[in-house]
Amino acid sequence: FQPKYLEGKRVLITAGPTFEAIDAVRGLTNRSSGRMGLAMAQAALEAGTRVTLICGPICLPLPAVHKFVQVVSAEEMLAAVKNEVDNSDIFISVAAVADYRPAEYHASKLKKKEQNITLTLVPNPDIVRYVASLPNPPFCVGFAAETDNIEQYAAEKRSRKKLPLIVANHATEAIGADASTLMLLDEEGTHHLPKVDKSVQARLVMAHIAHLYDNRKNN
């Protein structure tokens, strides 16, 4: 039994990796499986919310969300978020958005050469930062996967991106795994979650989001 903490609230979630095309057949991506994002969507449904899920390329069965939007690149994910954000009370940015995309896209397959080649990358927009900086933003939750100095880097990200809550984990433990250790960083400090299945962790994170959402300053 899960309490309906957030009955009727509208939750927007991004999940999975993004894929940044180089040419017709190649691209850059990362090892995010989408598992945590989907677990958050399921936990949000159990909490009684209306869920819109915007997802990069993943190969997992989807929870029965109210609206699903499939995207490929970070720019497409940003466009989809812009379409949905006005109808959201809470934004949970779980997606592992690629930090860079190739400066140029080649519509035909590039031919192989015998020498080194150089790929120029340009930074992608920071989606959660964009949302958190809107004049009247939804309650924004970020995720941070790190390999070193997890807590310090996550705390810096939380303040840089102006997020009331960031969920931090160990990148190599988390990517594709069923369980990893999570830390919740909010204005009160750091809370450690047990190393349990992602679906259980997602429910604990959702309960914490509900607690902070109910106690937010501009309530």
Q: Tell me whether residue 95 or residue 183 sits nearer to ligand C5P (CB atom).
A: 95
Cβ at position 65, least distance to ligand C5P in Å = 17
Answer yes or no whether residue 132 interacts with ligand C5P by CB under 6 A: no
Answer yes or no whether residue 143 interacts with ligand C5P by CB under 6 A: yes
67 is in an annotated binding site: no
**Spatial distance between the Cα atoms of 17 and 77, rounded to a whole number of angstroms:** 10
Among 32, 42, 49, 93, binds ligand C5P (CB under 6 A): 93
Answer yes or no whether residue 201 interacts with ligand C5P by CB under 6 A: no
What are the backbone angles phi and psi of residue 200, rounded to the nearest 5°?
Answer: -70, -45
Q: Given its phi and psi angles, is residue 132 left (phi above 0), alpha (psi -120 to 50 degrees) or beta?
A: alpha
Active site residue 116: no
Among 13, 55, 95, 150, binds ligand C5P (CB under 6 A): 95
4 is in an annotated binding site: no
Joined tokens for residue 124: 């992608």
Cβ proximity of 101 and 28 under 8 Å: yes
**Spatial distance between the Cα atoms of 137 and 86, rounded to a whole number of angstroms:** 8
Q: Tell me the sheet residues that pair with 197.
A: 179
Contact residues: ligand C5P, CB under 6 A: 14, 74, 93, 95, 97, 124-128, 142-144, 157
Annotated catalytic sites, by residue?
30
